Amino acid sequence: MKIGFIGLGNMGGHMARNLAVAGHEVTGFDVAGIRIEGVAQASSSAEAAMGADVLVTMLPNGQILRAVAAEVIPALPENACFIDCSTVDVESARAVAADWPLSVDAPVSGGIGGADAGTLTFMAGGSAKAFKIAEPLFEIMGQKAVHCGESGAGQAAKICNNMILGATMIVTCEAFALADKLGLDRQKMFDVVSTSSGYSWSLNAYCPAPGIGPQSPADNDYNPGFASELMLKDLRLSQQAAEAVGAATPLGQHATQEYARFVEGEDGRGKDFSAMLPRLSKMARN
């Protein structure tokens, strides 16, 4: 299959490489001029789209997605499938689908490690026909793909998931900070909570305390697997969507405010989102 891939950064580069390793003819483009072994380099987004059976994008935000879509859609062959793996607002995903009906919004979960290992989870929105075309590629780049519904449903699933993730990471970090002040050993707390009703992915799989549980960014000085500023972006998307439909999300709103303070008012930019733990450990109760 001939695949165009636009956006070869920390996530997209690994995903494009995995498609090429699987035997597909991949042509990539990135505004930063990034080169990926096994991926041919195009000089523009439109060139990457020309002659493609499938076009995949992994981009920073909805505004950039719309701009790229306006550039590539005139270059796409009539029956090409457009798969956008970016995390963007629901309306941008639906705008692309309106302009190119054979499209799938398919944001991912699994971070850089998952992109490298080909173990991502894809949350897909779009027609059944478009999903059927995209599914074999999801199987190469990931371990699971869920067809969530029509266009925009993939983005809706992603922002709901990450609202839960942002809020649970904060309360997990709060619990460790509280345990420290109560004199409770962190390992003992993990041993209890990880097998009790406080179980969560944030604790069990991505523990924010260094040296506790499976290896995580906390063990690498909080160098990001998922950067705090990206969590803030996703939380803001959740609140934008909640406002649009009149949904009450008080904890999601609070998590957004906390990450905004951390990223924009403190030193959280460039750190993993689990770096909330050292932040909270230094804070006193108001």
Which of the residues are catalytic?
158
The answer to whether 54 touches 74, Cβ cutoff 8 Å, is no
**What is the distance between the alpha carbons of residues 229 and 153, in angstroms, rounded to a whole number?**
23
Measure the CA–CA gap between 30 and 28, rounded to whole angstroms.
7
Q: Residue 188 CB: number of other CB atoms within 10 A? A: 10
Query: Is 94:152 a contact under the CB 8 Å cutoff?
Result: yes
DSSP the chain: -EEEEE--STTHHHHHHHHHHTT-EEEEE-TT----TT-EE-SSHHHHHTT-SEEEE--S-HHHHHHHHHHHGGGS-TT-EEEE-S---HHHHHHHHHH-SSEEE--EESHHHHHHHT-EEEEEEE-HHHHHHHHHHHHHHEEEEEEEESTTHHHHHHHHHHHHHHHHHHHHHHHHHHHHHHT--HHHHHHHHTTSTT--HHHHTS-SSTTSSS--GGGGTT--SSBHHHHHHHHHHHHHHHHHHT---HHHHHHHHHHHIIIIISS-TTSBGGGHHHHHHH----
